[in-house]
Every structure is written in C-alpha cells, then in structure tokens.
A and B are shown apart, each in its own frame.
Chain A
Amino acid sequence: KAGVTQTPRYLIKTRGQQVTLSCSPISGHRSVSWYQQTPGQGLQFLFEYFSETQRNKGNFPGRFSGRQFSNSRSEMNVSTLELGDSALYLCASSPGTGGQDTQYFGPGTRLTVL
C-alpha cells in the first residue's frame, strides 16, 4: 500500500498570506488528523476529519481550518499567516475505528513564514 503523502513538502510564504496544504491518506483509511510540530511547542493536535466531518479539534485559532473530501483526502488551510505559524505540519491517517488505531504519518510539509 502506498503511504501517506503530503504536498507540497516545502513552502515559503509571507505574513498575511494564506496557505493550503494537502494530505492523501492510505487507501481505505477514513480518518485524517493534522498536527503542528515546532521546536518550542512540540507536536500539537490541530484537528481530525472522519468521513468528511470534523470529529475532533485542538486548541488552535480559527485561522486554521480544514476539510476532507469524499475520497478521504484532506486539506488544511491557514489564513492570515503569522511568523509563529512556521512549522512542520504533519498529517496522519488511520482506519478511524477508535483509539486503538495506529496512525500512519506523512513526511510533513515544512512551512516557513517570512
């Protein structure tokens, strides 16, 4: 099976711009979760989508949003970028059946905000 893919792998934006990141889960997986990873804050949960619905949400401002399509691919969007949004954004897919699911992570998108 192909793994989780994320595009683009690297992105440079300036403050105030918006950005859209894409995640294609493993075939058959219905859950996609997004995480932000920074040296100062570590890995922080953004949100999870399951069957096109947001099922869980972390503690991030409304500038961070996402969606999931019928083929389980997911996008996350960050509007009005701030310097502090520079991070590695990871997505993870899982079958979505429960807490015992193994999450499979993509390689991440490295976002740099100038």
Chain B
Amino acid sequence: AQSVTQPDIHITVSEGASLELRCNYSYGATPYLFWYVQSPGQGLQLLLKYFSGDTLVQGIKGFEAEFKRSQSSFNLRKPSVHWSDAAEYFCAVGHPNTNAGKSTFGDGTTLTVKP
C-alpha cells in the first residue's frame, strides 16, 4: 500500500528566507504526487502535481517541487517565503490506476513565518 511521510511536523522560517518541505513516499512504481496547502479554516488548495516527465514541477504562488525517484522524495521549495505562506502543507500520493479520490495524504507540515 502506498504511504506518505512528512518528517517535519512544524517548520519556522523568517520572511524572505528560502523554504524546503520534505516528503517521502512509499510505492512500488512511479506514483502521482501532489502538494496541497491549507490555510486556517479553509479547505485544501492544490499547489502543484507530478505525473511524469520533467522532474522539476512549477506550481502556483512561486512554489516548485522536485521528484527524485532514487530517494522516493518529492520535496517542496520556495526561494523566498512571504508571511502569507504561513499555513499547513500536505503531500499526497495517488496510484496511477486509482481514481483521484483515493490519494493518501501525509500528516502535514505546519509552516510559521517570522517577520
């Protein structure tokens, strides 16, 4: 069965600093990979997704993620964090032959941004 691990429960960065959120997955083949963001009191919003092709994926709000098969990782990055990026971030993995609704989510990483 597929699984997702987000090793960092909570990360604090200063505004303007770079950010990297880690995500490791367990799956026998190349899965579909997603990053979502959840602001307080809101649902989840998709930041970016990877299915195949170029392993560096660009998303919304200046985020990018890199798929590394050898490390089973799909880390999320942003070169310069803004205060509005403070939120909870979820990595998710889906099976290529499974419908989108059956993705498995990590436990999330809460990002705090210091002024």
Interface residues of A, Cβ cutoff 8 Å to B: 4, 31-33, 35, 42-43, 45, 48, 50, 55-56, 90, 92, 94, 96, 98-108
Contacts and interface: CB of A to CB of B under 8 A. Distances in A.
B101 interface: yes
B97 A42 contact: no
Contacts of B36: 105
A37 B94 CA distance: 18
B70 interface: no
B44 A105 contact: yes
B5 to A, nearest CB: 11
Interface of B: 32, 36, 41-46, 49, 51, 90, 94-108
Given A31-B100, A92-B43, A92-B44, 8 more contacts: A43-B90, A45-B104, A56-B98, A99-B95, A99-B98, A101-B100, A103-B46, A103-B101
A33 B95 CA distance: 16
